[in-house]
Structure 1
């Protein structure tokens, strides 16, 4: 579940912004190494792609990017020593790559590799029913730690910089709720922790996810 994943994250010290993180990604994009296999299979939708409609996308860009990201997410699990391996890459439709790079969707490793769309579905971008990550037998399974780090950034970007017109919450509010809720099991519905705008919003999300699954 999305909120259970959020509770495993170290609290933020300051909110990230789309402009800062976007600059980090765009300034550090590198060519895909020749050693990375070019599978025609989309790991997100499961469809077979043509060469013109296919992108081989790094989950985590490089070591410089790793050092920049720690500013926003705090301590996290150790990444593999070599990021230029097939396990740090996903194949997807070229139209999906900008959304992945901008943290509009990610993969929740701890929910059976469920694909979570954080931005509001639209005619231009809607993978809300994509299900789980799709890795064919011919492709190496991505590194869990890379997927987790990317997913953590997705959550923080969504909570600290939500889409226009949606409810916003401060970093202290987010951190306070994380500390109050703690580990499983979740507090009872009558617990005062839910009696706030943020608490009610998170509780609605938990209930909705439980119904949908």
Structure 2
């Protein structure tokens, strides 16, 4: 149907398609997102989407693969620097888990909406979570078990998954918490959100494992 508006290399066009698809999938969901709308937003010919990703399922999977890869690489890099024997090891592990999605590489509210859909989605979404998140999750669960030696695998697994749900709600940043708390959303920094998340999730995990919060 005509040439792409931008005569870029395939790599830059591919990235532009993924950026556009992330937003369209976030706004319209998988079912509502259309390849034409994604192509228009990316300013490329629709045929280029099929060239790079075959179909909508392939494009959706590529969006998840790219963003999860960026986030999880940052998470694991941070986790490697955590001392599991430190008094504040649980806090350090949770910060390593939660800070990357809150940062500029995390995809912001758009990817938070996609991730929220993944966590409650169908068999396709469950498989994408397994492929792109389970290995990293296992590393963090193992780190938490070493930091909380009395905890069971089941307790830590529950705590981890509840932490992810809390994180998704925070990254979506709807402003409801500030509104209900009578706060100015503009005055709430990413660092404030991270500290609140870590404090809340650490307390929950320690309660699940019959541990009591300890000061670092």
The structure with the largest alpha-carbon Rg is 2
TM-score, normalised on structure 2? 0.29
TM-score (norm 1): 0.29
* Structure with the bigger percentage of strand: 1
- Pick the structure with more helix per residue: 2
